[in-house]
Every structure is written in C-alpha cells, then in structure tokens.
C-alpha cells in the first residue's frame, strides 16, 4: 500500500481544525470521477476546513493518475493507493482511519455534491448537535426515496430507515466511540448494516432539507453496485443481518418491529410486484421464495405480517405459503388495476386549520396527467363527504421493473372535517373515470400528528388512514 499527499501537512492524528473529512472509495469510476472531483473543488467551505481522502481500490482505468494530479496542488487532499479489496467497505474504513475531521461524509466516486453541501451540513450539525445528518439527495437516472418535505432536527427514525446508503454526515466521535465500521467482505447492504447501528446509537439524527445536497448518479455502463445482478440467498441474508442489528440496537421493541416490517416490505416484497414477478425466470422465482420464507421464519411472525397494508399482506401470505401460482394470479389482477397502493408519507395540522397530507401513489398510471387522481373522504358506512383533486405530483419516480411512484401534497380543509363531525372518515385514492377506489394506507404510525380540536388521525388495525372527527 502507498499513500501520496500533495504536501507533508499535519499528522493524520491531529485534527488541525478540520471540520469534515470526505471519504471516497474509488474503483474504475472514470469518467464520473471527474465530476465528483469538480464538485469537491467547488465547495464554498473554507479549503482548510475540509479534507478529501480518496482511496483508490486497485483501479485499472485512468483514475489513479487523475487522483494524483488533482491532489498535487491541494493541501487538503490525500490519495491512498491499495490493492483491490473487491467491495467498498474496506476503502471506506481505510479512509475513516485517516480522517481528522469532527465529521465524516462518505461520498461515492460516481456522484456529485452541491456547491454548498459541506458548509451547510457542518453548520447545521454544529448548531443542532446532530450525530447523523441525512442530506436532501436526488437521483439522476435512479430512484432515491422521498423522506421529508422540510428540515427535521429530530428526524423520525422509521422514515429515516428508508435510506440505507452511506452518503450521510457522521460525527466522527460517534463512529469511534461505538466502533462503527463497514463490513469489508463482499456482501450486499454492507452500508445498511453500518447505518443501522449509526442511526440507533446516535443521540440525534437529523434531516437537512432545502437545496439539494447530493446527487446520486446512474452510470451509463451499469456499474453502480445497486443495479448489478445478485444472488437471492446472499441478498436476503444481508437483509436479515440489517434486521438483526435493528432489533439488537433499538431500545424500543415496538419500533424495531415496525422498522423491520417496513424493511421487509421494501426489500423483499418488491420482487413480487407484477412487473418483476411476471418476467422473472422460474428458477430465480424459486430461489427468492425459498430465501424469503427462511427470512420470514426468523424475522416476520404472522402477527407482525398482519400489520401490512394491502396488497403487501396478501403477497406476503402467498410467499409464506410458497404459493407461486397464487402470486401469478395476484400479479395478473394487480396489472389490471390502475393503482397498486397508496401510502401516506406524512400528515401535519395546518396552522390556519385543516390537515396537510403527503401521499405516495404507487401504480403504472399514477403520473398520467390525462387520468387525474382524487382523494376521497367517506363516512364509515355512509356517503362521500369530500372529493379533493390531488393535482400534479411534486415528485415522480419510475424505477425500472417497478410501478411508478408519485408524491402528492394535498390539504384536507377544516370544512370537510366538520362535515364528518361525530363520525369516522375513511380515506381513499381514486382514478378519475374509474369506479374502484384504493384505500389510503398508513403503515407508519409515527408520521401521524397528535389529536387536535377533537379530530384524531389514526391508523386502523388494517394499517389504513382514518380520521375520527369531533365537533370542533
């Protein structure tokens, strides 16, 4: 192993006033590496307040030469050349060993940071005492989960667990005190294993909204690890390891169950969505079914499975039974529906009255501007109280092989809640021109607000969203 530096500089053990260390594992990342380096050079944080540790993990392209040339006249840059380890965990850990900053940010060599990224993250974490800061990120040609609309000093962990990629700001003392590191063997979700411990051992996990901080870029050569082929057994084992770490480190068993259940829904049940399941080779189907049934035996007891919203609960029961024919039928029926599922991502009371909802709609026609979507409020066992137009989605993702995901913001007016006074309102999503409605699910209780003015927003036993309306 060799280490090249642009100057002799301070000893690596001396923090030398460094606010943040950016650690970047690099392996055959050209030409995307050039974009990352440009974005690092354009940071508006003082040059002596951040350092960049670039760990060349045995690259065979022009990357090593580009790294050395870029670092040659930048005192805050260090380049490490090492033999290929086969996976990003080892170079990230190596960079962490050399880091001197109060914070560490893990970037990937094929992504880019916004010009204000480091300064904004450091200032926020210093001011709020954040141990882990999740920045607002967007995907360029790839799917990135939607978390929150605005900054959250204390971010809801159940929602935060939707992002298990390493591009976060970590307080270095937390990582050292708890000896949090990335697994170095070639395993999927190695970053999720690291993040699970960091999230749950941190005193404060925050979300930084506003301007985009980080851009996750899809490579034209298909070399993003997240899109490469994988073995169902190994991938499912990794999900099980993340689930084990969640339960081992979360002091709240109920929350741990909900996080594991949602992890299972997002990472396992996604393979039974119609677009994926119907095109999957039979041998691969059998491997997924066998691996997921083993996972369920350990991590998803039937009572926990019952908390899933539809259509996930039906799919999960078919997986538990190993019923491939039933999954075929369910896939055919789902393809015939305009919407696959609708979930509430957040709910807040408006200052001047009414309820603000952020709604995720999953389905092939969710983003079709010619088929408007409506939020329907119906008295339980009675008639429709209000039909609200969702308008245009604020965000649309079209992940390959999965239904379109559109995010809408809609306000339920005070008048609609008053119209249901003394009753319960059930909420649905409906495609204009279609008779069927899709129940609006609320699988994460933590996104719901406390009761206000006699109105209570709650999740039913079937994990659907309802509102108990008072007189106020």
Q: Which of 191, 250, 257, 426 is catalytic?
A: 191
Give the DSSP letter string of 287-321. Answer: HHHHHHHHHHHHH--HHHHTTPPTTHHHHHHHHHT
415 burial via Cβ count (<10 Å: 0-12, 13-18, 19+): exposed
Cα 292 from Cα 177, distance rounded (Å): 35
Q: DSSP letter at 150?
A: S
Q: What values do phi and psi take at 286, rounded to 5?
A: -65, -40
Instruction: Please confirm whether the linkage preceding 31 is cis (ω < 30° from 0).
Output: yes
Q: DSSP letter at 451?
A: P
205 and 160 in contact (C-beta within 8 Å)? yes
Cα 226 from Cα 127, distance rounded (Å): 34
| Residue among 56, 50, 47 nearest 24 (CA) | 56
Report how many helices (DSSP H) and strands (DSSP E) the chain contains, helices first: 15, 21
Ranges of beta strands (E only) in 6-159 are: 20-26, 50-57, 77-82, 103-106, 112-113, 132-135, 137-140
Cα 359 from Cα 50, distance rounded (Å): 38
Distances (CA, A) of 308 to 353, 364, 402: 31, 21, 19
Distance of CA 446 to the CA centre of its chain: 16
Give the DSSP letter string of 220-234. Answer: TTS--GGGS---HHH
Q: Is 191 a catalytic residue?
A: yes
Cα 17 from Cα 49, distance rounded (Å): 6
Give the HSE-up count for residue 293: Cα atoms under 13 Å, Cβ half-sphere.
Answer: 14
Cα 49 from Cα 60, distance rounded (Å): 32
Handedness of CA 114, 76, 172, 95 (dihedral sign): positive
Q: Could you tell me the two tokens for 123?
A: 């200032």
Residue 73 burial (CB count, 10 A): 9
Can you tell me whether residue 247 is helix, strand or coil?
helix
Residues assigned a catalytic role: 191
């Amino acid at each position: 192993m060799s280490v090249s530096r642009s100057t002799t500089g301070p000893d690596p053990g001396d923090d030398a006033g460094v606010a943040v260390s950016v650690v970047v594992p690099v392996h055959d990342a050209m030409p995307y590496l050039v974009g990352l380096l440009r974005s690092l050079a354009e940071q508006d944080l003082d040059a002596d307040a951040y350092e960049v540790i670039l760990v060349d993990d045995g690259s065979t392209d022009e990357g090593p030469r580009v790294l050395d040339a870029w670092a040659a006249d930048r005192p805050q840059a260090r380049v490490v050349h090492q033999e290929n380890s086969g996976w990003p965990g080892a170079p990230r850990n190596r960079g962490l060993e050399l880091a001197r900053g109060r914070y560490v940010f893990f970037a990937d060599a094929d992504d880019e940071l916004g010009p204000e990224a480091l300064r904004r993250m450091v200032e926020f974490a210093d001011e709020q005492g954040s141990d882990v800061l999740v920045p607002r990120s967007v995907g360029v040609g790839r799917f990135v989960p939607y978390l929150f609309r605005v900054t959250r000093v204390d971010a809801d962990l159940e929602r935060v667990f939707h992002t298990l990629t390493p591009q976060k700001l970590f307080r270095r003392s937390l990582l050292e005190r708890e000896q949090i590191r990335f697994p170095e063997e070639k395993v999927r979700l190695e970053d999720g294993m690291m993040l699970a411990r960091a999230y749950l051992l941190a005193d404060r996990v925050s979300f930084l909204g506003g301007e985009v901080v980080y851009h996750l870029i899809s490579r034209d050569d298909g070399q993003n690890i997240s899109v490469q082929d994988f073995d169902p057994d190994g991938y499912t084992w990794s999900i099980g390891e993340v689930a084990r770490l969640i339960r081992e480190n979360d002091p709240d068993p109920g929350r741990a169950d909900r996080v594991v259940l949602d992890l299972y829904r997002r990472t396992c049940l996604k393979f039974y969505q119609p677009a994926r399941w119907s095109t999957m080779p039979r041998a691969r189907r059998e491997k997924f079914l066998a691996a997921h049934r083993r996972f369920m035996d350990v991590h998803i007891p039937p009572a926990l499975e019952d908390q899933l919203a539809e259509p996930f609960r039906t799919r999960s029961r078919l997986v538990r039974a190993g019923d491939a024919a039933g999954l075929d039928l369910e896939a055919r029926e789902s393809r015939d529906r305009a919407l696959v599922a609708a979930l509430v991502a957040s709910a807040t009371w408006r200052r001047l009255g009414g309820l603000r909802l952020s709604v995720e709609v999953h389905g092939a026609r969710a983003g079709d501007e010619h088929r408007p979507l409506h939020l329907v409020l119906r008295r339980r066992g009675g008639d429709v109280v209000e039909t609200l137009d969702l308008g245009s989605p604020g965000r649309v993702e079209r992940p390959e092989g999965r239904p379109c995901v559109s995010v809408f913001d809609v306000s339920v007016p005070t008048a609609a809640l008053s119209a249901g006074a003394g009753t319960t309102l059930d909420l649905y999503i409906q495609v204009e021109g279609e008779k069927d409605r899709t129940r609006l699910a609320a699988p994460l209780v933590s996104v719901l607000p406390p009761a206000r003015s006699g109105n209570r927003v709650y999740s039913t036993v079937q994990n659907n969203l309802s509102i108990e309306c008072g007189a106020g």
